[in-house]
Amino acid sequence: MKEIKGNTTKLVKIFGVNYELKLIYKRIKAPKLNLKEKEIEISLPSKYKKINNDSIIEMLLEKMYEAIANKELDTIMEKVRTTLKFAPEDYKILKLDKRLCKCVANRLVINPEIVKYRKEIIEYVIFYEFCHLKINKSGKKFRDMLKQYMPNYENYEFELVGVQY
């Protein structure tokens, strides 16, 4: 949480852009999330006002990331498939601990939280995992293949320092 002008505000990233999380209490039966320009509005039932809502907010954000990933990743996967002329057998979007993506038995498992990053970073991570389908180790051949398709891959690696993929 970040303190802004006396209010506690949480910033949430989508495609590398910060969105301010706005919490509103209303006379409604179930929580709702509304994505606006530079703002994510979460409406909670008034009766939730007196309890700690962190777990509800996190669940709503996780569902939002999953919905965005389901909508956007097909396009990115197709772009990488078309460029490399090969693909994993399939992919699925699944919450992973500490990783953005991994390859398991010729299938990609993609953490929905990958949509926090810029689309170029997402493409890089997907390219990286596709390249692992052809070359298992991250040696010179692997780096050469990655560089062939993403000449500036090192810039993306620099942005992802400390992030597992």
pLDDT tens per residue across span 47-66: 888 888 888 999 999 999 99
Q: What is the pLDDT of residue 126?
A: 93
- Averaged pLDDT for residues 137-158: 89
What is the rounded distance in angstroms from the CA atom of residue 130 to the CA atom of residue 79? 12
Q: What is the pLDDT of residue 1?
A: 38
Q: Cα–Cα–Cα angle for 131, 132, 133, nearest 5°? A: 90
Q: What is the pLDDT of residue 49?
A: 84
Sheet hosting strand 2-4, strand order edge to edge: 2-4, 7-14, 17-26, 39-45, 32-36
* pTM over 0.95, yes/no: no
For 28, the token pair is: 């409604």
For 137, the token pair is: 């180790």
Q: How many CA atoms lie within 13 A of 22 on its CB side?
A: 12
